[in-house]
C-alpha cells in the first residue's frame, strides 16, 4: 500500500517539471507512452527505498493563467482530504502572491505533513530572496530548482521521513481476487453491483457521488469466488463542483492500486470522455486487468450509433493498448451483466497465465526469424531465446546480441504477435530486450 503525496500550488510555479523529476528518478516512472500528456498527473516514485504515489494537481486545471482561484482552492481542499502528505510549491521569481497566502491559510489548519518548496532557486541571490516565504507561516522551507533538480534530495529525505506509517495490510492466506468497479460519478457503478448482488445495499440516486468510500462484497459466481469493490467512492463534498475530474482520480488511485481487475464503467449517453481515459490509464499504468462496460446502452438511439462504431471510437482512444474487452450492458434492465463478470474472470485468468519457456520459444522464434528487427548502422540484431519472467503481471524478456538497437515499433510488433498467439485480452504486458 502506498502513501499518496499531492503537489499543490498556483499555476506556472513549475509543478509539472517538479512532478516529472520525481517520477523519473531511478526509472521510477511507471510507464510513459511517448508524447502522451494524459499521464502527467499521476505517477509512482521512490526515495531511499520508500515508494509513494504522486499526484500533480496542476494537470487537472483547464487553462493556465486565467484560472479561477476558486478552482485552485478546491483542489487544495481535495488534496488535504485525500493525500497523506502535501508539497506546496511556490516561485521565488514571483515572491509571495495573494494566492500563495490563500493556499497557505488553508494548509496552516492541517495536521498532515506539509512541505513548503520554493522553486527556481538556482543561485545565491535567489537563496536570499526565498527568506520572504517565512511570512506564509508554514515554518522551514526547502529551496529547489525543478529544472536541474538541485535541492530536491533534501526535500525528499524530509518527505519520506514524515510520511505516515500506513497500517500493515494483513497478508491473507489465500487472498480472493479483487474486482474493482471504477468510473466517473453517475456511470452506474452502484446500480451494476446492486443488480449483481440482487439487494439494494448501495444507495442509488441520480445525484453523482452518493456512495461513500469503497465497499467490498464477497461474491461467488461461475464457481469462482472474488471480492467486488465499489469505488463509486467519489465521496463528493457539496462544495465540490460536478466536473471536478481530479476528485474521481484521487479516489480511484487507492482502489485501483489494490485491485486485480478494474471494471471501468462508462455512461453510453456521454461517450468515452477524458476522465474515463484518465481512469483507464491509471489502471493500465498499474498493470491491472481491465474490462470496459458501456452502461445505459438501453438509452442510446441505436440508429445513430451501432455497437461496432461505438466500440471503434473507444479503441481509438485507448491506443496503443487496444486489446481490451468492451461490453454493452444495462444495469437497469440487467442486460449482459453476468457476461460482464464472466469476462472479468477471464481477464483475471489471462493475467495469471504462465507460458512454458520451451513452448514460448517454439512459437515466438520462428516469427522473429521471419521478421527480424531492422538492421541499424549495418548491424543485425539476433534474438536467440525468450521467456516469461516470474513476475505477478505478465512480463517477457527477449535475449539479443544488441538489445539497444531494438526500437519501439518492433516492440509493438512483438507484442501484437504475442497477443495473436496467446490470450492476454484486457491485460497490459511488458516486453524487455536484454543482452544475452
Annotated binding site for GTP: 9-16, 56-60, 119-122, 183-190, 230-234, 295-298
Please state the residue numbers annotated as binding site.
9-16, 56-60, 119-122, 183-190, 230-234, 295-298
Q: Do residues 43 and 249 make contact, with C-beta atoms less than 8 angstroms apart?
A: no
Give the torsion sign (CA, 175, 176, 182, 186): negative
| CA atoms of 384 and 422, how far apart (whole Å) | 20
Could you tell me if 354 and 375 are in contact, meaning their C-beta atoms sit under 8 angstroms apart?
Answer: no
Residue 388 three-state SS: strand
Alpha carbons 332 and 366: distance in angstroms, whole number: 49
Q: Please spell the DSSP secondary structure of 200-252, one letter per residue.
A: --S---SSTT---S-EEEEEEETTEEEEEEE-------TTS-TT-HHHHHHHH
Burial of 11 (0-12, 13-18, 19+ CB in 10 A): middle
Place of cell 536541474: 148
Amino acid at each position: 500500500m502506498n502513501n499518496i503525496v499531492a503537489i499543490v500550488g498556483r499555476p506556472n510555479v513549475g509543478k509539472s517539471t517538479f512532478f516529472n523529476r520525481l517520477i523519473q528518478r531511478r526509472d521510477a516512472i511507471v510507464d510513459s507512452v511517448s508524447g502522451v500528456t494524459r499521464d502527467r498527473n499521476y505517477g509512482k516514485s521512490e526515495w531511499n527505498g520508500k515508494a509513494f504515489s504522486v499526484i500533480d494537481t496542476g494537470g487537472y486545471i483547464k487553462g493556465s493563467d486565467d484560472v479561477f482561484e476558486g478552482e485552485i482552492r478546491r483542489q487544495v481542499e481535495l488534496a488535504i482530504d485525500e493525500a497523506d502528505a502535501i508539497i506546496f510549491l511556490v516561485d521565488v521569481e514571483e515572491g509571495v502572491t495573494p494566492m500563495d497566502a490563500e493556499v497557505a491559510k488553508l494548509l496552516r489548519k492541517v495536521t498532515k505533513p506539509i512541505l513548503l518548496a520554493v522553486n527556481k532557486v538556482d543561485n545565491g541571490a535567489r537563496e536570499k530572496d526565498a527568506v520572504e516565504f517565512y511570512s506564509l507561516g508554514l515554518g522551514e522551507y526547502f529551496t529547489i530548482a525543478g529544472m536541474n533538480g538541485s535541492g530536491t534530495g533534501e526535500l525528499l529525505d524530509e518527505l519520506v521521513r514524515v510520511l505516515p506509517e500506513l497500517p500493515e495490510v494483513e497478508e491473507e492466506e489465500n487472498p480472493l481476487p479483487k474486482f474493482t468497479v471504477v468510473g466517473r460519478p453517475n456511470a452506474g457503478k452502484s446500480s451494476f453491483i446492486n443488480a449483481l448482488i440482487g439487494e439494494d445495499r448501495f444507495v442509488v440516486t441520480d445525484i453523482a457521488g452518493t456512495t461513500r468510500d469503497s465497499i467490498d462484497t464477497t461474491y461467488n459466481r461461475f464457481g469462482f469466488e472474488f471480492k467486488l469493490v465499489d469505488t463509486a467512492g467519489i465521496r463528493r463534498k457539496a462544495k465540490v463542483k460536478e466536473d471536478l475530474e481530479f476528485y474521481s482520480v484521487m479516489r480511484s488511485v487507492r482502489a485501483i492500486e489494490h485491485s486485480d481487475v478494474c471494471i471501468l464503467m462508462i455512461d453510453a449517453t456521454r461517450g468515452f470522455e477524458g476522465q474515463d481515459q484518465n481512469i483507464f490509464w491509471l489502471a493500465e499504468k498499474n498493470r491491472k486487468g481491465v474490462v470496459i462496460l458501456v452502461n445505459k446502452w438501453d438509452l442510446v438511439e441505436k440508429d445513430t450509433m451501432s455497437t461496432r462504431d461505438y466500440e471503434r471510437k473507444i479503441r481509438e482512444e485507448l491506443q496503443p493498448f487496444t486489446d481490451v474487452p468492451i461490453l454493452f450492458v444495462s444495469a437497469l434492465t440487467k442486460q449482459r451483466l453476468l457476461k460482464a463478470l464472466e469476462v472479468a474472470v477471464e481477464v483475471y485468468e489471462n493475467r495469471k497465465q504462465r507460458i512454458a519457456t520451451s513452448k514460448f520459444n517454439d512459437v515466438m522464434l520462428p516469427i522473429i526469424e521471419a521478421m527480424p528487427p531492422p538492421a541499424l548502422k549495418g548491424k543485425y540484431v539476433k534474438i536467440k531465446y525468450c521467456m516469461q519472467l516470474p513476475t505477478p503481471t505478465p512480463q517477457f524478456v527477449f535475449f539479443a546480441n544488441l538489445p539497444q538497437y531494438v526500437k519501439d515499433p518492433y516492440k509493438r510488433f512483438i507484442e501484437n504477435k504475442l497477443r495473436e498467439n496467446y490470450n492476454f485480452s484486457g491485460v497490459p504486458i511488458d516486453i524487455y530486450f536484454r543482452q544475452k
